[in-house]
Structure 1
Amino acid sequence: MSLTAHIPSHRKPRRSASKLAVRAGVAGGVLSTLAMAGTASATPSEPVAESTLEMPVLNMDLAADVSSSVTKAAENTRAAAVDGELNALEQSARTGAAAEAKKAKEDAQQKADAEQQAKDEADRKAEADRASRSTARTSLSSKSASSSEGSSSSEGSGVTAPATGSAAAIVNFARAQVGKAYVMGGTGPSSFDCSGLVQAAYRQAGISLPRMSQAQSSAGTSVSLSALQPGDILYWGSRGSAYHVAIYVGGGNFVGAQNPNTGIVERALSYDKPTGAVRVL
């Protein structure tokens, strides 16, 4: 065996023809390029003008702008929501206030109606009590008059003999008007004032009286309240300047057009005691 059999050879391997051809082509291309560059540099040419483009400056803080816009939009939305809620609360408050005012008005009206009803009831009761007392007094007076010896009349008792003749015509007419309305200046037939009733009643007996209560209180002759007869004219105030007149109908009662609330009524003398009386018949 040779002593150099295991020693590797240091001979370079042979390159293939194809690789050599490729390398040659590349080298040729490089040389051609260099030649063209040299020719170009040797040929004079006009200088190329250089221009500088100014690029717009961009605000790169886009994130901050977007955040500000979002925040502003959120604030506007929140403000709109608050305004809507306030408007709703205001509308609700107005509705509630209107309902409370209506309820308060209804309660006040109910209270007023109840008070008026109670007052009317009290007035009716008081009127009934006065009428009862008047009836009792009349009954007692009648008994006293009937027990008086040799008395042909009940002077001072408020009870007289039944009206006859002209007095009866006056009394009957006056009583027929009870329940009709009192109207200032009224002379009948559906309503009267005090002097209008007295004038109309006396007209039934063919007697013409002045229209006003002052003149009527001066007619005829003055008589005592203890000696009244049916048909006598009662007056309140001074004779000749009376402010109210009525007709004595006997039994201690009178008929008069009192006021707009009561209308024409029959009352006992004690209900509203007159100042004086005159006799025309």
Structure 2
Amino acid sequence: MSHTAHIPSHRKPRRSASKLALRAGVAGGVLSTIAVAGAAGPANAEPVTETIEMPTLGSLDIDLASAVSASAEASQQEALDLSLQAQENAAIEKAAKDAKKAKAEADRKAEAEKAEKARAEARERASRTQARTSLSASSSSDSGSSSSADSSSQVATGSAAAIVAFARAQVGDAYISGGTGPNSWDCSGLVQAAYRQAGVDLPRISSSQSSMGTSVSLSSLQPGDILYWGSRSGSYHVAIYVGGGKYVGAQNPSTGVVERSLDWDMPSGAVRIL
């Protein structure tokens, strides 16, 4: 065994070949520059004493780390910008859909209100016309008053009783154009539902309902008869005669389903289905 084997080595660890080569290149370049400058000067020139500082490997490492950090921050900012843009686009698309849906609902309500206003105006004109004709008819006949007296004692029976009971049970419900129950109706929707209690399937619209069955005079009404306003094949409103000179009908949004006397709004005619 060597006498120096137990003595720890004091030699510095070897530097990597690439680092040594880089430093040697830098040092060689500096020395070559100085030598050329010395050879080109006059013989009696004073020696160059200026020290030239060259970048070290440490500064290169710092610059590289700064560049990597800046690149990472730029990538992160770009990702954040893309995320914000996607959220903004989604919000714009949702707002457009909501606006389109609201407009469609507003248009639907406006059409329903317009149609109801037209029906109300038509009923008012027909009511005035009917009132004038009924006044002239009542002055030339006493049969109307006698039948009115008899109508106060009319009692619905059988299928008519089921129709009348159902119609009266809906008094107080709301009127909605196109309504078919159970808590809101339009005129033909109520008549159709009432007749369904008696097993009779009527058409959905008022003009078709008043075209069915047999035409009867207003002086010969029976409970369960369908009253109509307008012409028989072109009626704009229908209701159910419940006896006692009264009828039940879904009138309009202001009144809803009501029970009224025939004198309140005299119908144009009546039909009998049962």
TM-score bracket for the superposition, by shorter chain length: 0.3 to 0.5
Structure with greater contact order relative to length (CA < 8 Å, sep ≥ 6): 2
Q: TM-score, with normalisation over the residues of structure 1?
A: 0.45
Q: Which protein has the larger Cα radius of gyration, Structure 1 or Structure 2?
A: 1
Q: TM-score, with normalisation over the residues of structure 2?
A: 0.46
